[in-house]
Amino acid sequence: MRAFVQVDLGAIAHNVSEIKSRTNAEILAVVKADAYGHGLIPVASTAIDAGARWLGVALLEEALALREAGVEVPVIAWLTPPHEDFERALKLHIDLSVSSIALFSEILDWGDRLGIKPRLHFEVDTGMRRGGVLGEWEKFLTYALVNRDRYILVGVWSHFARADEPSSEFSSLQEQTFDVNVAELHERGLHPEIVHLSNSAATLTRPTAHRSMVRLGIAMYGLSPDVNEMGSATNYNLRPAMTIKAQLHLVKEAMAGDAVGYGGVEVLTHDTKLGVVTMGYSDGLPRSTSNSAGVTFDGVRAPLVGRISMDQCVVNLGPHSTAQAGDYVTVMGGDGYSIDEWAAADHTINYEIVTRIASRVPRIYQLK
């Protein structure tokens, strides 16, 4: 196996349990994007066993995959444009998020055809200006009231824009707006069973925002929502779940002055040994990553040299390395460069690093 992702399901379980011990709210485990690259079904099953009572995904096909795998807990899909397969969604009792009258109406029509009351969550825009009802809120409320016998109002929710900046006042303003929205629902006799607002960042830093359910995303995978603003995930007793390893295709001696890789953008300053690692940008490694990331062999760091190629990359093993072709190196996680370090080296966020690891890299699961 030339490369693989090792997923520690024990870490996932630990992280869910840790968050569960910090709140009285129910836990919704966010498993969108193939569980942030960790594997949809194994992570979902682990999260449920650890105490999560809900699952959340972006896409309807992700929710359908969970049902097809036999997952029975409540599942909400919150990014469903018009004309999705709402027939299957309703038949499989998948919760749907609505943030426009047009989508609301389409889903209710499907419910009428099937004789099934859709399970709905109203998303309100409290300041992020992404998803959620905004300008048509009053009309939306009227529509919801007139049609109240055609659906089940399971939840009302919104999403923080800056919860990963604990010092920002914007989250407080969003909470206030959300409270107004919820109060307006109650005033019209619309009483959602679940009220949810907190993402991982708010779950870790804003107890006032927990409400009746928190949505546990990046923190469940043992990563900080923002390492610069909130510090490392270890500050919150969370354990990273992902480690990536790959084989060395080749080890060779190279001389000072040699240019390495496409474009010859990096020139060696000393004689050394180079290792050719069997992972590249088609596997999800960011092409523009600087040499402040790399791999480790026997606990010794070997920084990247030159540009990452499609299927491979080159690292500086050092002149005295004993590494040989066929040996495994740790690309990230474990005893290697952390996922946060890879993110910093590519001027991006840890979310992007883990979700971009390609499906052609097998996932290997373990329960420590």
Architecture of the domain made up of 242-366? Beta Barrel (2.40)
Q: Indicate if 262 belongs to the active site.
A: yes
Nearest to 230 by CA among 258, 257, 199: 199
What mean pLDDT comes out for the span 92-108?
A: 98
Beta carbons of 278 and 33 less than 8 angstroms apart: no
CA–CA distance from 274 to each of 58, 184, 298, 346, 349 (Å)? 42, 64, 15, 22, 28
What mean pLDDT comes out for the span 206-213?
A: 96
Q: Indicate if 351 belongs to the active site.
A: no
Nearest to 312 by CA among 343, 285, 291, 348: 285
What mean pLDDT comes out for the span 288-293?
A: 92
| Ranges of CATH 3.20.20.10 domains, the chain | 9-227
Distance CA 41, CA 64 (A): 12
pLDDT at 327 over 90: yes
The burial class, CB within 10 Å (0-12 / 13-18 / 19+), for 173 is: middle
- Summarize pLDDT for 35-72 with one digit per residue, the tens: 999 999 999 999 999 999 999 999 999 999 999 999 99
| Ranges of CATH 2.40.37.10 domains, the chain | 242-366
pLDDT band for position 167 (cuts 50, 70, 90): confident
pLDDT band for position 368 (cuts 50, 70, 90): low
The end-to-end CA distance of the chain, in Å, is 22
Beta carbons of 247 and 326 less than 8 angstroms apart: yes
Provide the pLDDT for residue 367.
82
Provide the pLDDT for residue 298.
95
> Exactly one of 20, 32, 245, 273 is catalytic; which is it?
32
pLDDT band for position 208 (cuts 50, 70, 90): very high
Q: Which CATH number fits domain 9-227: 3.20.20.10, 3.30.450.20, 3.30.428.10, 2.60.40.2890?
A: 3.20.20.10
What is the chain's mean pLDDT, rounded?
Answer: 97
Distance CA 9, CA 311 (A): 28
> Exactly one of 245, 252, 262, 368 is catalytic; which is it?
262
Nearest to 204 by CA among 182, 178, 231: 231
- Percent of residues, the chain, with pLDDT higher than 90: 98
pTM of the shown model:
0.96
- Percent of residues, the chain, with pLDDT higher than 70: 100
The burial class, CB within 10 Å (0-12 / 13-18 / 19+), for 72 is: exposed
